[in-house]
Amino acid sequence: MPVPVGNVAATLGENVGENVKSNAKNDEKHMRAIHRFTARTLETKSPVPFGALIVNTKTGKPLLRATNAVRRENDPSSHAEVRAVRQACRKLKRPSLAGFTMYSTCEPCPMCMANALWARLDRVVYGATIADANRHCLQIHIDAREVVRRSDMHCVVDGPVLRDLCYSLFTHPNMQKAFRTWSSSKRSSKRKT
């Protein structure tokens, strides 16, 4: 028999309000960290607005971080989230990231969210939204929560967290200049149609 939601908090003996505040504080801390890491690319020849950080869900200890490398690796699947999952699984020498949370500067696209599900991540927390990214580059318009809803696997999706901060990666002048050279930019796709 299912336990009513009201009894779950009492059964756990925890102050749910405090846990939510603690999660929000930790989410912002980790989002700021991946924003800073990703922002470093804005001063390089290959700036990207997409970064991902994987941390231990219980301790918050960072495992690793990655940025988008599609252009650098000539691989359309080299999104930050996919690269982070690949590297984390390689580092842990196992295909499961159960017990871990991913922070992404942008809401994961369907490919990245599906990868997070297959990796069994506990949570995915994002900053900017797919709609935000779509102002500058092509996107598949299926939100991360919808991918989870259509899956047999479970993963909590939280966001947006620090949306304006993460969106600033897209609007940085160096990123705007780079978008004009991307074949997936909104401007490039309009010229081809």
Contacts 24+ apart (CB under 8 A), 15-21: none
Dig out the tokens for 23 from the structure: 């999660």
Helices marked H in the chain: 5-12, 16-39, 70-73, 80-92, 110-118, 130-134, 144-149, 163-171, 173-179, 186-192
Measured CA distances, 144 to 69, 97, 112, 152, 166 (Å): 21, 18, 9, 14, 17
Pick the catalytic residue: 43, 73, 81, 146?
A: 81
- Whether omega for the bond prior to residue 160 falls within 30 degrees of 0, making it cis, is yes
Task: Report the alpha-carbon distance of residue 125 to residue 57 in Å, rounded.
Answer: 12
Catalytic residue list contains 107: no
- Residues involved in catalysis: 81
